[in-house]
């Protein structure tokens, strides 16, 4: 329940070493996943997300499939009935898994990116910013193979209808230049024309972000 994300993150990192001390870690992990769907307090919800990521790392990546974690992540992405708290819970869990599992979680990155991109066009700013922050964290863990996997999805995001979704995709593309310049070098012929295209978008914010992303990549 500590309000510090730094404390939550460190507890999650220490958990895998302690798995042997829990009588039924599988059940605890399942209870944590269930609590993410009902918890109203954002701070406690983040705590559950980080704890769950620690249990997943301790029990093994295979546990993601056994618990059907992606069932929870995917079924609550779209629809007006999905509460903002649930959307934040999804983003918090994805971020915790990325930070705690690192490259071990990379085989799921494309799936995760598709989920996060659903939130890029959200009107609620905290959800939109959380999804964008989470995507940027994911980019920092990408290998050369991972970049080639997720890049087509990001380029596709620039074709989105809503200007907010376009802006988010453009921001992530610009950020990739800092995260993985060597991996990106061979992909620049795909990225630059797409960003240049954004400069002629009718929405001024899309134009501005396109210009900013091109400057970041050019640097």
Comparing 13 with 144, the larger pLDDT belongs to 13
DSSP for 25-77 reads HHHHHHHHHHHHTT---HHHHHHHHHHHHHHHHHH-THHHHHTTHHHHHHHTS
Q: What is the pLDDT of residue 141?
A: 85
What are the pLDDT digits (tens) for 114-172? 889 888 878 889 998 999 899 888 888 888 788 888 888 888 888 888 888 888 888 88
Contacts of 115 (CB under 8 A, 6+ apart): 73, 74, 77, 90, 94
The string of pLDDT tens digits covering residues 180-210 is 667 777 788 888 888 888 898 999 999 998 9
Residue 186: the pLDDT is: 75
Give the number of other CB atoms < 10 A from CB of residue 205: 13
Half-sphere exposure of 208 (CA within 13 A, CB side): 6
CA distances from 118 to 24, 39, 72, 159, 161 (A): 35, 22, 15, 13, 12
Instruction: Give the SS3 label for residue 185.
Output: helix
At 90 the three-state DSSP class reads: helix
Q: What whole-number distance in Å separates Cα of residue 10 and Cα of residue 12? A: 5
pTM of the full structure? 0.86
């Amino acid at each position: 329940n500590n309000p510090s994300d730094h404390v939550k993150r460190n507890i999650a990192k220490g958990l895998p070493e302690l798995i042997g001390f829990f009588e039924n870690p599988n059940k605890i992990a399942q209870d944590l996943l269930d609590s993410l769907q009902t918890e109203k307090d954002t701070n406690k919800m983040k705590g559950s997300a980080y704890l769950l990521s620690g249990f997943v790392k301790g029990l093994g990546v295979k546990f993601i499939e056994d618990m059907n974690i992606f069932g929870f992540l995917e079924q609550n992405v779209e629809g007006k009935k999905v509460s903002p708290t649930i959307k934040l819970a999804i983003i918090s869990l994805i971020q915790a898994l990325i930070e705690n599992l690192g490259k071990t979680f990379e085989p799921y990155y494309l799936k995760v990116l598709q989920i996060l991109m659903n939130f890029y066009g959200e009107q609620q700013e905290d959800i939109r910013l959380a999804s964008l922050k989470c995507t940027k964290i994911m980019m920092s863990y990408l290998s050369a193979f991972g970049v080639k996997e997720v890049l087509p999805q990001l380029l596709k995001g620039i074709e989105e209808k809503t200007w907010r979704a376009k802006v988010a995709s453009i921001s992530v593309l610009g950020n990739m230049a800092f995260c993985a310049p060597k991996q990106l070098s061979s992909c620049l012929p795909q990225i630059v024309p797409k960003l240049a295209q954004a400069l002629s978008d009718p929405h001024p914010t899309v134009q501005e972000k396109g210009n900013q992303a091109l400057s970041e990549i050019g640097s």
